[in-house]
Structures are given as C-alpha cells and as structure tokens.
Amino acid sequence: GESVGLHLPTLSVQEGDNSIINCAYSNSASDYFIWYKQESGKGPQFIIDIRSNMDKRQGQRVTVLLNKTVKHLSLQIAATQPGDSAVYFCAEGTGGGNKLTFGTGTQLKVEL
Amino acid sequence: GAVVSQHPSWVICKSGTSVKIECRSLDFQATTMFWYRQFPKQSLMLMATSNEGSKATYEQGVEKDKFLINHASLTLSTLTVTSAHPEDSSFYICSATGTSYNSPLHFGNGTRLTVT
C-alpha cells in the first residue's frame, strides 16, 4: 500500500545549528503535506504545510521543501533551539481532505 | 486559536472493562473527527473517520465492534474501547476539522490508556 517514511529515526544537532529532517512519500496522488512536532505525552502540533503546486514554503525559522520528482519532503529548522527537541512527523493527504497518512517520525535531539 | 480537548488525559482500567474517551472541539464546529492510535516510539495510525450524524468509517484491521465511535454533535466525538485488554494499551489521539473545504486539522493532546 501507499506509505510515508522517514530516512533517519534520530537526529542530533548542536544548539544554534540548522536541522534538516527528511521524509519520503510514495503516493504520487498526494497533494498536501504537513509537518508536525510532537512532544512527549502530547498530541501533534502543526508546524508548516505545503501544497503540491509549490516547491518551497517558509515560516518562522522553518522551511519546507517539496520535490515531487523524487517524492521527497524536508523540514529545515534554522538556529535550532533546545525547545525544538521533539519527534517530527511528516504527513500527506489528498483532495483537500484531512485524512492524513503519517510518516514514521524523526526524533530531534538538540545538544547544548 | 482553535482548540481540541480530549478527556481523560490518562486512564488505567482493568482487563475486560470498557473505557470512553471524549474529544471536543472548543471553539469551532467539527464536522469530521479522526481517531488515531499511537504505540510507543511509533507513528500515528488512523483508526477511523467520524462524521457528525453518520456512522464512522473504520480503517482496515480496526474492529468496529471493539472501538465504538459516536459523533452525535458538531463539538463532540467519543471513542469507547470495549472489553479492553492489555494489548489495547496505547496513546489515543483525536483530531477535528471544521465545516469549510481545506479547514485546518486540529489535534487533541491524546489519552494514555493502560489496561492492566
């Protein structure tokens, strides 16, 4: 079946460095992609989204890049802070609905 | 901003009993709510999609008679785990979306269920 997966289960970065979290998706029909942050014991928190008619979208300290040719999604976090430590999930959807398929997640650890 | 509230945040029950989890949209009308299950160190797995006033649509492999979903109003959906067993212990998360096309999805903070 279709699936969304991540390359790296754990990413450790130094405080102040930039972080890049990657995600590969396999459903070519997906047209909506979202990055979520999940802290321990809490629900997912929306970070940023992007639609398939865009290649890049920027938010506050975060940038999402979408490469539809290779079905790849990435989340870039600038000047990573200790508060960014969490598990990050990509998710994909189709047709404007909110039924999402989540990737396996990446644990981001920020070292002081 | 939009808030989705889940209750309880954690619950411990004995094997064989049933547990009800509530998901409420606090400041918007949620026509659709989704229920997810998340095991430790794993991703969120969609269990079912719940539309207000109609029967829930369950994902393949999810027992509808075991996980009863009710979405009787635009602000409340409930998930009842019937005859719970230790393997049902998990983190259950709901999400809700509003009435407009492309309405954003809001997540609750989850319910930690432990079955002893």
User: Residue B107's pLDDT is what?
Assistant: 93
Closest residue to A42, CB basis, from B45, B95, B109:
B109
Higher pLDDT residue, B68 or A2?
Answer: B68
Residue B86 is given by DSSP the state G
Residue B22 CB coordination number (10 Å): 17
A4, pLDDT greater than 70 = no
A100, pLDDT greater than 80 = yes
Distance of CA A49 to CAs A71, A80, B100, Å? 15, 19, 17
User: Residue A6's pLDDT is what?
Assistant: 41
Taking only residues 60 to 79 of chain B, the set having a beta carbon closer than 8 angstroms to any beta carbon of chain A reads none
CA distance B33 to B71: 8
Where chain B has pLDDT below 70, the residues are 1-2, 99-103
Give A66-92 pLDDT, tens digit per residue.
999 999 999 999 999 999 999 999 999
Q: How far is A108 from chain B (nearest CA, A)?
A: 13
Taking only residues 2 to 31 of chain B, the set having a beta carbon closer than 8 angstroms to any beta carbon of chain A reads 4, 6
Give A34-64 pLDDT, tens digit per residue.
999 999 999 999 999 999 999 999 999 999 9
CA distance B72 to B52: 6
Give B92-103 pLDDT, tens digit per residue.
999 998 766 566
A5, pLDDT greater than 60 = no
A98, pLDDT greater than 80 = no
Extended strands (E) in chain A: 4-5, 10-14, 19-25, 32-38, 45-51, 56-58, 62-67, 72-77, 86-93, 101-102, 106-111
Q: Which residues of A touch B109 (CB under 8 A)?
A: 41-43
Q: Which residues of B touch A89 (CB under 8 A)?
A: 43-44
Cβ distance B68 to B92 under 8 Å? no
Q: Give A22's pLDDT tier (boundaries 50, 70, 90).
A: very high
CA nearest to B107, candidates B99, A88, B98, B97? B97
User: Residue A94's pLDDT is what?
Assistant: 84
CA B42 centroid distance within chain = 17
Interface residue B98 vs chain A (CB under 8 A)? no
Interface residue A52 vs chain B (CB under 8 A)? no
